[in-house]
Amino acid sequence: MTTRTETTKADPPIERREDLLSPFVKGEKPVEAWRIGTEHEKFVYRKDDHRAPSYDEPGGIRDLLMGLTEFGWTPVEEGGKVIALAGPDGAVSLEPAGQFELSGAPLEHLHQSCAEAGRHLRQVKAIGDRLGLGFLGLGMWPDKARADLPRMPKGRYAIMLSHMPRVGNLGLDMMLRTCTIQVNLDYSSEADMAQKFRVGLALQPLATALFANSPFTEGKPNGFLSFRSHIWSDTDPHRTGMLPFVFEEGFGYERYLDYALDVPMYFVYRDGKYIDAAGLSFRDFMEGKLSALPGEKPRLSDWVDHLSTAFPEVRLKSFLEMRGADGGPWSKICALPALWVGLLYDQSALDAAWDEVKHWSLDERQRLRDEVPKLGLAARTPSGENLRDLGERVLAIADAGLKARNRLNSIGENESGFLDPLREIVARGKTPAEMLLDRYHGEWGGDVSHVYDEMSF
């Protein structure tokens, strides 16, 4: 999640509706300026007993952050504690229970993105080896109860952890027990944003199936292939979901703005502290009627903060975020942006992908999203085929899109090779979660601890 820094004098007050639209409009970029921003999270554990380390303990999360300064990362503090790092490869931040995230820099092509992921993983492994820490690539803690997990010293998390049980049953699990891979992508215009948003939403269940990697809860199978995806269905209905209005005629910035205004607030950041505004209205804030900050009106940074507290399957800020994938191993970190760049960054591929899904009804899209966490690639699409068959065609479209981009590495290879892990999944017809379940019921003998040997970076 976003790490907040101090507001500056350049942060203007919001005086009219057009100010709220400005982050979306300023996100428009010509094709040659489009970039790829990859985010990936992993679980941190002690190698000797698989325990999740706390922030302050010797060799814990704080020491891990500080160790990375050896590689040129600069500490970011909140309340006198280091809670993030900034550097040329983007930002390193902490999720609520110490999940470790790299929010990568905006890069031109996938060869750079995968190299960036590799640099980061080599760095954390080097420091982790010294501290006795390992890093696990899954979508959900396979063996930890909520009570087993530490809390990180970030003010926004304290507010969210308090608020989550009021609005859903699984929000605490989302915060404490899950990891994801995401990619942030650009658009050239409002119309381009709308087409990409629609394709991204409609095909997000396919991404969830291809990356499904969270079949265990507290040491046992949980009945899902992506329990992380299921968790979002019972987190907070006001800020999650498939956003049916995106498929309505005329969808654009204005409609997303209205949606975001209706998302209840979490907090306001002032003077280095988070003020609890959970459940309050940004519309009231606009009128100076926010009970948590009476008489004060928002600044642009408050609106940008607020946009980061909506959690739909695809999210609009000054770019589009694809949010449907579980965390996973090294190759999946490179495969997720390859899928979406291939589909969304070439117009012919984008049109072909839209042709696959444009006839689906709202109910059909929702049904597919609801079935995928349990059924994975065996879920049925609105046309009646299984998702695996659609996946074959979509990967072919993404492959063509990447080849059309013709971004080559030093030995003349284009970006399409990063799709290979996904092609393997579709070819065998089994999600990563099903492969883990096969091992659990087979050679692991029902002992989920073996996952630390097989799924660690």
Predicted pLDDT of residue 1: 54
Q: Give the pLDDT band of residue 10 (cuts 50, 70, 90).
A: confident
Say if residue 8's pLDDT is above 90. Answer: no
Say if residue 6's pLDDT is above 80. Answer: no
Q: How far apart are CA 199 and CA 194, in angstroms?
A: 9
70 exposure class (CB count in 10 Å sphere: 0-12, 13-18, 19+): exposed
Residues 6+ apart with CB under 8 A from 126: none
Q: Give the pLDDT band of residue 37 (cuts 50, 70, 90).
A: very high
Separation of CA 165 from chain center: 21
Q: pLDDT of 21-32, one tens digit each?
A: 999 999 999 999
Q: Give the pLDDT band of residue 287 (cuts 50, 70, 90).
A: very high
131, HSE (Cβ side, Cα atoms, 13 Å): 27
Tell me the mean pLDDT in the region 386-400. 98
- Residue 344, token pair as written in the block: 């969304």
**Considering the domain 17-263+310-454 in this protein, what is its CATH number?**
3.30.590.20
Percentage of the chain modeled with pLDDT above 90:
98
CA distances from 69 to 47, 84, 87, 367 (A): 22, 11, 9, 46
**How high is the mean pLDDT of the chain?**
97
Q: pLDDT of 103-135, one tens digit each?
A: 999 999 999 999 999 999 999 999 999 999 999
Determine the residue type at 309. Answer: T
Q: Give the pLDDT band of residue 319 (cuts 50, 70, 90).
A: very high
Q: Among 447, 112, 289, 155, which Cα is nearest to 298's?
A: 289
Predicted pLDDT of residue 57: 98
